[in-house]
């Protein structure tokens, strides 16, 4: 009798322990129930705030209303940490079917074959970019493949504090001023308003890029740098001159402005009369200050600016519903109703017809000015540069580092240029 | 040491009779082993967690550190590069050595200051007075908020141009600067933040101080030792094991500082890399430059370095840590 007991007890013990452990194991799996019932669920991932989430959800609901078989698993979060999460999902081969991306990362993903090449859809017409400005959709091409659909047009914009300048009876900056004239203006206007005339943009890649193009250079030629060390040095020296002439704030204040956060731009924190931003940030900047703001192009030849895609939608190459995913993007970009819902939240609508409709219906003054400025500039654009290559985000942070070395006076422009050039060359050749 | 005994196999209820068990039936392991299985099954929740969350990822990262794994590419594109990541780190990445310098500076300055502050406040709180518990709680509070992002944000705004700290200086007619934006001072504000969070070692010191036998002080004062003498010749030696414990923990903590530097610099390590802590550089390599193989190599170098430093502290412990032999 006693001989039969211990094994049974052991068996029970094993069973109980196993049951305790079971949920743990099961918790790890599960969840993946894609339908055999003809229904499709697409995962959709973007960054942004509450307002964008609301608009996007409405637009996606509209798609579902028209295609009841397609639903969405929507995920959104703030920009901070977004790309960490996207990278992690991608590493786990679990990237969303459709995801938002920007030009800092597009090449990183496209060259590693994460994004689906949309060229065939474009040729077949299932992805319609015929109403897009040509330079805009081309700004989504990486190595000959259409890696992302530009969602929102944008360009560089110089924002200035109109109220303060008017109060001090100073002339306003104008599109087409030379850099030297602009810096001289900033010195004078600054003295008259007792504010720094301009934020020092030497750490700002987009200002550097526009300036380079005006010198007949490029930030990048394909996967190589399109400038020389001497160019960088000249750029740093230009701004050292501005700092010496007291046209800019001191280095510690400049450092605050070097953050990309909109609320920290010196034009809204009242530490400078102008800030170097993307034109579509104008309405958001206006919300952060009592003063009236104005918008012009960066100094120099404004035709060297280009229609930058403020962001893109890309399709994951491993998606199981590629065709539907492309159709959704096509819908969001080209459907008039969806376009009206989405507005200018992601930049000016890429589809110029929708853009015109949205511009006509908005009653937001700074939005109107933004659209007018970008439209005005876009008439003169030359050819767009290619999307920044892999290593671009490193180049950006190296530029900030080197420019700040010069701003704090820890390095001469020559030394800082040498450091930046070496570091960015290493970054793009990786 | 009774806890150790618990983890050993419990004595089997009935020792197996030698004869029948020895004539082993096919496919059945001997009895003590089956008992072990039940034990492991009960342990399995923890074992699974340990394996899935700690052991396997660590081994993976060790493997990755010898590859050029870049997160986004397909596995097939990942190549074995041998020690290349380690070589690159030592010879080609100036930021690596810069980060090492920043981290060592941070740990070397913050840890002793933090321990001194903890010990000082613990000594003050070690007398019995009204609301003693309240003060203990209040002093402990900052370290509860410790690594949180919120505190770091508050810290940044406090040490900004128009922050509370400069208003305070203003009372004395001193015009402060934007401390967090100045490469000469930014790390200093982080050190201050770390020191401010002295609550955890303080509580441990306090517990240690309560253990110092009162008769030692009596004897010392009979021998004519003043409070200073008593502190150095009675309190410190008796407390030295606790100091040692805190020193090890806080040094490791110091090396691992990340959150505050990340928040202060927006993830960049700025201004001008002055707050580029090792962990921050590692994070940037892995998650903004997608050089995860390199980042993994950095993590292993980090682990070994911390291990080495800890071993070193243990070594020196022989010379200054005093374990009283007679318990109770």
Is B13 close to A6, i.e. CB distance below 8 A? Answer: yes
Check if the beta carbon of residue A85 is closer than 8 Å to that of residue A106.
no
Provide mean pLDDT across the span B262-286.
90
Question: Would you say residue A8 lies in a domain?
Answer: no
Question: Would you say residue A300 lies in a domain?
Answer: yes
| Residues of chain B contacting A114 with CB distance shorter than 8 Å | 72
Provide mean pLDDT across the span A279-297.
89
Given CB atoms, is A391 within the 8 Å cutoff of chain B?
yes
Question: Would you say residue A34 lies in a domain?
Answer: no
Given CB atoms, is A359 within the 8 Å cutoff of chain B?
no
| Residues of chain B contacting A21 with CB distance shorter than 8 Å | 41, 44-45, 48
Per-residue pLDDT band for A257 (boundaries 50, 70, 90) equals: confident
**Among A69-73, A283-287, B175-179, B291-295, where is mean pLDDT lowest?**
B175-179
Given CB atoms, is B258 within the 8 Å cutoff of chain A?
no
Q: Cα–Cα distance between A310 and A374 in angstroms, integer?
A: 13
Question: Would you say residue B299 lies in a domain?
Answer: yes
Provide mean pLDDT across the span A37-53.
89
Which pLDDT score, from 0 to 100, does residue A221 have? Answer: 92
Per-residue pLDDT band for B268 (boundaries 50, 70, 90) equals: confident
CATH value at residue A404: 3.40.190.10
Is the model's pLDDT at B6 over the cut of 70? no
Given CB atoms, is A9 within the 8 Å cutoff of chain B?
no
Per-residue pLDDT band for B145 (boundaries 50, 70, 90) equals: confident
Say if residue A48 is in the same domain as residue A185: no
What is the count of structural domains for chain A? 2
Check if the beta carbon of residue B278 is closer than 8 Å to that of residue B255.
yes
Sequence-separated (6 or more) residues with CB below 8 Å from residue B309: B251, B255
Question: Would you say residue A28 lies in a domain?
Answer: no
Question: Would you say residue B29 lies in a domain?
Answer: no
Question: Would you say residue B27 lies in a domain?
Answer: no
Q: Cα–Cα distance between A330 and A67 in angstroms, integer?
A: 14
Say if residue A144 is in the same domain as residue A286: no
Residue of B20, B27, B41 best to disrupt the A interface, most CBs of A under 10 A: B41
Peptide bond into B271 cis (omega under 30): yes
Structural domain of B235: 93-320
Given CB atoms, is B181 within the 8 Å cutoff of chain A?
yes
Is A20 close to B290, i.e. CB distance below 8 A? Answer: no
Say if residue A316 is in the same domain as residue A207: no
Would you state the torsion angle of the CA atoms of residues B254, B260, B264, B270, taken in this order, to the nearest 10 degrees?
30
* Chain B nearest CA to A235, separation (Å): 18
Check if the beta carbon of residue A17 is closer than 8 Å to that of residue B42.
yes
Specify the 3-state DSSP secondary structure of A308.
Answer: strand
Is the model's pLDDT at A225 over the cut of 50? yes
Provide mean pLDDT across the span A364-382.
80
Q: Which of B14, B38, B177 sits opposite A252 (nearest CB)?
A: B177
Question: Would you say residue B79 lies in a domain?
Answer: no
Q: Cα–Cα distance between B216 and B220 in angstroms, integer?
A: 6
Question: Would you say residue A263 lies in a domain?
Answer: yes
Share of chain A above pLDDT 90, in %: 66
Check if the beta carbon of residue B325 is closer than 8 Å to that of residue A143.
no
Say if residue A279 is in the same domain as residue A182: yes
Predicted structure pTM score = 0.82
Is the model's pLDDT at B28 over the cut of 60? no
Q: Which of B44, B273, B287 sits opposite A87 (nearest CB)?
A: B287
**Among A198-212, A410-424, B223-237, B290-304, where is mean pLDDT lowest?**
B223-237
* Chain B nearest CA to A260, separation (Å): 9
Which pLDDT score, from 0 to 100, does residue A7 have? Answer: 52
pLDDT in tens, B34-70: 668 888 888 989 999 999 999 999 999 999 999 999 8
- Interface confidence, given as ipTM, is 0.81
Is B270 close to A90, i.e. CB distance below 8 A? Answer: no
Say if residue A127 is in the same domain as residue A167: no
Say if residue A103 is in the same domain as residue A243: no
Provide mean pLDDT across the span A120-144.
93
Q: Which of B38, B73, B182 sits opposite A17 (nearest CB)?
A: B38
Say if residue A229 is in the same domain as residue A289: yes
Say if residue A317 is in the same domain as residue A233: no
Contact map slice: B 194-233 vs A, CB within 8 A: none
* Chain A nearest CA to B161, separation (Å): 8
Per-residue pLDDT band for B146 (boundaries 50, 70, 90) equals: low
Is the model's pLDDT at A35 over the cut of 50? no
Is B181 close to A256, i.e. CB distance below 8 A? Answer: yes
- Class of residue A426 by CB neighbours under 10 A (exposed 0-12, middle 13-18, buried 19+): middle
Say if residue A350 is in the same domain as residue A265: no
Give the chain A residue whose CA is nearest to the CA of B265. Answer: A259
Dihedrals φ, ψ of A371, to 5°? -60, -45
Per-residue pLDDT band for A162 (boundaries 50, 70, 90) equals: very high
**Among A20-24, A29-33, A283-287, B119-123, where is mean pLDDT lowest?**
A29-33
* Chain A nearest CA to B300, separation (Å): 20
Residue of A87, A115, A200 best to disrupt the B interface, most CBs of B under 10 A: A87
Provide mean pLDDT across the span B98-108.
95
Is the model's pLDDT at A368 over the cut of 90? no
Share of chain B above pLDDT 70, in %: 87
Structural domain of A294: 156-305+391-428
Question: Would you say residue A326 lies in a domain?
Answer: yes
Kindly state the tokens that stand for B143: 């370290």
Contact map slice: B 53-92 vs A, CB within 8 A: 70-74, 77
Token pair 């090396």: residue? B255
Is B181 close to A6, i.e. CB distance below 8 A? Answer: no
Mean pLDDT of chain A: 88
**Among A66-70, A122-126, B128-132, B201-205, where is mean pLDDT lowest?**
B128-132
CATH value at residue B152: 1.10.3720.10
SS3 per-residue string spanning B95-125 = HHHHHHHHHHHHHHHHHHHHHHHHHHHHHHH
| Residues of chain B contacting A88 with CB distance shorter than 8 Å | 71
Which pLDDT score, from 0 to 100, does residue B182 have? Answer: 87
Residue of B12, B35, B71 best to disrupt the A interface, most CBs of A under 10 A: B71
pLDDT in tens, A334-355: 999 999 899 888 888 999 999 8
Give the chain B residue whose CA is nearest to the CA of A104. Answer: B288
Say if residue A165 is in the same domain as residue A193: yes
pLDDT in tens, A293-307: 999 999 999 999 988
Which pLDDT score, from 0 to 100, does residue B75 have? Answer: 83
Give Cα separations from A241 to A47, A153, A317 (angstroms). 39, 33, 49
Is the model's pLDDT at B127 over the cut of 90? no
Say if residue A366 is in the same domain as residue A404: no
What is the count of structural domains for chain B? 1
Provide mean pLDDT across the span A182-209.
95
Per-residue pLDDT band for A381 (boundaries 50, 70, 90) equals: confident
Which pLDDT score, from 0 to 100, does residue A24 have? Answer: 46
Given CB atoms, is B307 within the 8 Å cutoff of chain A?
no
Is the model's pLDDT at A222 over the cut of 70? yes
Per-residue pLDDT band for B149 (boundaries 50, 70, 90) equals: confident
Question: Would you say residue B67 lies in a domain?
Answer: no
Stronger pLDDT, A211 or A15, i.e. the higher one: A211
Which pLDDT score, from 0 to 100, does residue A33 have? Answer: 43
Per-residue pLDDT band for B30 (boundaries 50, 70, 90) equals: low
Is the model's pLDDT at B300 over the cut of 90? yes
Question: Would you say residue A4 lies in a domain?
Answer: no
Is A17 close to B71, i.e. CB distance below 8 A? Answer: no
Is the model's pLDDT at B289 over the cut of 60? yes
Q: Which of A13, A21, A256 sits opposite B38 (nearest CB)?
A: A13
Which pLDDT score, from 0 to 100, does residue B14 have? Answer: 47
Is the model's pLDDT at A158 over the cut of 90? yes
Is the model's pLDDT at A387 over the cut of 60? yes
Per-residue pLDDT band for B32 (boundaries 50, 70, 90) equals: low
Check if the beta carbon of residue A161 is closer than 8 Å to that of residue A274.
yes
Per-residue pLDDT band for A1 (boundaries 50, 70, 90) equals: very low
Question: Would you say residue B58 lies in a domain?
Answer: no
Question: Would you say residue A227 lies in a domain?
Answer: yes
Residue A158: which of A106, A120, A203, A210 has the closest Cα? A210
Is A17 close to B44, i.e. CB distance below 8 A? Answer: yes
Q: What is the Cβ-side half-sphere exposure of residue B176, based on CA atoms within 13 angstroms? A: 21
Share of chain A above pLDDT 70, in %: 91
Say if residue A115 is in the same domain as residue A252: no
Given CB atoms, is B41 within the 8 Å cutoff of chain A?
yes
Is the model's pLDDT at B31 over the cut of 70? no
Q: Which of B38, B161, B272 sits opposite A405 (nearest CB)?
A: B272
């Amino acid at each position: 009798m006693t001989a039969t007991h211990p094994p049974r007890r052991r068996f029970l013990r094993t069973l109980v322990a196993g049951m305790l452990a079971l949920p743990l194991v099961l918790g790890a799996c599960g969840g993946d129930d894609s339908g055999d019932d003809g229904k499709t669920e697409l995962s959709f991932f973007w960054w942004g705030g509450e307002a964008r989430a609301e608009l996007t959800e409405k637009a996606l609901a509209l798609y579902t209303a028209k295609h009841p078989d397609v639903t969405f698993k929507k995920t959104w979060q703030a920009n901070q940490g977004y790309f960490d999460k996207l990278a992690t999902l991608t590493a786990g081969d679990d990237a969303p079917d459709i995801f938002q991306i920007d030009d800092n990362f597009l090449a990183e993903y496209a060259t590693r074959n994460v994004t689906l090449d949309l060229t065939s859809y474009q040729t077949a017409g299932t992805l319609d970019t015929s109403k897009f400005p040509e330079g805009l959709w081309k700004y989504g091409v990486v190595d000959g493949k259409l890696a992302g659909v530009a969602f929102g047009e944008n360009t560089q914009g110089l924002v200035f504090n109109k109220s303060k300048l008017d109060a001090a009876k100073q002339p306003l900056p104008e599109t087409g001023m030379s850099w030297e004239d602009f810096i001289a203006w900033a010195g004078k206007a600054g003295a008259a308003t007792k504010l720094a005339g301009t934020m020092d943009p030497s750490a700002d890649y987009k200002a550097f890029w526009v300036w380079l193009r005006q010198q007949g250079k490029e930030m990048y030629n394909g996967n190589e740098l399109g400038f020389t060390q001497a160019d960088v040095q000249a750029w740093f020296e230009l701004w050292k001159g501005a700092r010496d002439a007291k046209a800019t704030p001191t280095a510690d204040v400049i450092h605050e402005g070097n953050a990309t956060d909109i609320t920290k731009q010196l034009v809204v924190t009242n530490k400078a009369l102008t800030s170097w931003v993307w034109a579509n940030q104008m309405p958001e900047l206006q919300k952060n200050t009592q003063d009236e703001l104005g918008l012009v192009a960066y100094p120099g030849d404004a035709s060297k600016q280009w229609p930058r895609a403020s962001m893109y939608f890309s399709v994951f190459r491993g998606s199981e519903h590629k065709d539907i995913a492309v159709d959704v993007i096509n819908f969001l970009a080209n459907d008039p109703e969806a376009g009206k819902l989405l507005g200018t939240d992601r930049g000016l609508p890429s589809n110029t017809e929708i853009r015109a409709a949205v511009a006509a219906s908005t009653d937001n003054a700074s939005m109107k000015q933004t659209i007018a400025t970008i439209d005005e500039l876009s008439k003169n654009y030359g050819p767009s540069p290619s999307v920044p290559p892999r290593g671009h985000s490193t180049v950006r942070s190296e530029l900030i580092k080197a420019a700040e070395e010069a701003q704090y006076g820890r390095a001469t422009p020559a030394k800082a240029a040498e450091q930046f050039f070496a570091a960015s060359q290493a970054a793009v050749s990786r | 040491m009774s806890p150790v005994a618990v983890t050993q196999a419990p004595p089997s209820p009935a020792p197996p009779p030698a004869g029948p068990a020895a004539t082993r039936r096919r496919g059945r392991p001997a009895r003590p082993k089956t008992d072990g299985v039940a034990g492991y099954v009960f342990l399995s929740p923890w074992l699974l967690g340990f394996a899935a969350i700690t052991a396997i990822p660590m081994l993976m990262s060790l493997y990755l550190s010898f590859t050029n794994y870049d997160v986004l590419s397909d596995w097939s594109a990942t190549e074995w590069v041998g020690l290349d990541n380690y070589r690159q780190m030592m010879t080609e990445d100036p930021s690596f050595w810069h980060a090492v310098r920043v981290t060592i500076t941070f740990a070397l300055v913050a840890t002793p200051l933090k321990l001194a502050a903890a010990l000082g406040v613990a000594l003050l709180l070690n007398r019995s007075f009204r609301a003693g518990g309240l003060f203990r709680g209040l002093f402990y509070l900052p370290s509860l908020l410790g690594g949180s992002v919120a505190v770091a944000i508050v810290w940044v705004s406090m040490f900004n141009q128009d922050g509370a700290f400069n208003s305070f200086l203003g009372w004395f007619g001193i015009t402060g600067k934007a401390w967090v934006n100045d490469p000469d001072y930014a790390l200093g504000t982080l050190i201050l933040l770390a020191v401010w969070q002295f609550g955890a070692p303080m509580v441990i010191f306090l517990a240690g101080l309560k253990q110092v036998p009162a008769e030692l002080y009596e004897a010392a004062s009979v021998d004519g030792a003043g409070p200073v003498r008593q502190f150095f010749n009675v309190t410190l030696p008796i407390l030295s094991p606790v100091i040692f414990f805190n020193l090890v923990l806080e040094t490791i903590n110091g090396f691992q500082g990340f959150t505050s530097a990340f928040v202060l610099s927006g993830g960049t390590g700025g201004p001008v890399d002055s707050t580029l802590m090792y962990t921050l550089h590692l994070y940037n390599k892995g998650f903004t430059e997608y050089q995860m193989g390199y980042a993994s190599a950095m993590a292993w170098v980090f682990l070994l370095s911390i291990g080495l430093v800890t071993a070193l502290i243990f070594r020196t412990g022989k010379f200054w840590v005093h374990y009283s032999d007679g318990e109770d």
